[in-house]
């Protein structure tokens, strides 16, 4: 029988500030490494590229930018990395991605601008590589508050986070929780959350034969 070609899994972790996203991304990376799986971490925005530097300056409020323009830059930042993500996946590497197009929609649509509808915000990311699975770290506002204050960057305030959460909820409903999007209760201890994430990614991490899909096919 001909050997079937396996590729790496494309795993996205999304979540609000204070959801424990960074912690969980590193724990998941460690679990993959301990299991002997080749793994690569990608973080969006990737602030190291020329486009990423513009985004970084905007997030730190060192510069102002039109809301549409910054939205398109966040998307461009994904497009510029997409070829290398595809390359890693095809080489059999598991790619764990800290934020992706869903954050792009959630944060921009949360601005509630009449010219930035949900559909408009979704459009520039159409045909980007689609994750095999997205894990949304769902933290309650109470728990987020308990975990300490927000940082000083743009969007890091309770009012914005609440609006962002509503858009994430809509994304979750549209993607469906059949297999591709899971909301994970992130109010729990980090070990419990890590365990659930590890279980959820099991069907994918050993390699998958499924062709890579594209957003929002
Ligand atoms: P970090 O705190 O994770 O570095 O994110 N954001 C992110 C957007 O507005 N659009 C996007 O497409 C992405 C990926 C979320 C920095 C902030 O940037 C926001 C928080
Ligand atoms: Mg942040």
State residue 36's pLDDT score: 96
Question: Is pLDDT above 70 for 4?
Answer: no
State residue 206's pLDDT score: 87
State residue 198's pLDDT score: 98
For residues 135 and 201, give the distance between their C-alpha atoms in angstroms, rounded to a whole number. Answer: 9
Question: Is pLDDT above 80 for 98?
Answer: yes
Which parts of the chain are beta strand (E)? Answer: 10-15, 39-43, 94-98, 133-138, 181-185
Nearest ligand (C-alpha, residue 15): 1
15 touches ligand 1 (CB under 6 Å) = no
107 touches ligand 1 (CB under 6 Å) = yes
Average pLDDT (128-139) is 97
Phi, psi of 94 (to 5 degrees): -75, 130
State residue 2's pLDDT score: 57
44 touches ligand 1 (CB under 6 Å) = yes
Question: Is pLDDT above 80 for 130?
Answer: yes
| Atom 8 in ligand 1: residue holding the nearest Cα | 104
């Amino acid at each position: 029988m001909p050997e079937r070609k396996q590729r790496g899994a494309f795993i996205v972790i999304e979540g609000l500030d204070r959801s424990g996203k960074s912690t969980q991304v590193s724990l998941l990376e460690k679990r993959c490494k301990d299991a002997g799986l080749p793994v690569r971490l990608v973080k969006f925005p990737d602030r190291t590229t020329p486009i990423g530097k513009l985004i970084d300056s905007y997030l730190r409020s060192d510069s102002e930018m039109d809301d549409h323009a910054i939205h398109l830059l966040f998307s461009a930042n994904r497009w510029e990395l997409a070829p290398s993500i595809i390359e890693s996946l095809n080489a059999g590497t598991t790619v764990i991605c800290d934020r992706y197009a869903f954050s792009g929609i959630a944060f921009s649509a949360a601005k509630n601008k009449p010219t930035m509808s949900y559909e408009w915000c979704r459009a520039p990311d159409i045909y980007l590589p689609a994750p095999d699975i997205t894990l949304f770290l769902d933290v309650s506002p109470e728990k987020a508050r308990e975990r300490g204050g927000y940082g000083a960057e743009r969007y890091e305030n309770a009012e914005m986070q609440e609006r962002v959460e509503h858009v994430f909820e809509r994304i979750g409903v549209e993607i469906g929780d059949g297999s591709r999007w899971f909301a994970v209760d992130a109010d729990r201890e980090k070990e419990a959350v890590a365990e659930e994430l590890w279980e959820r990614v099991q069907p994918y991490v050993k390699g998958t034969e499924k062709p890579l899909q594209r957003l929002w096919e």
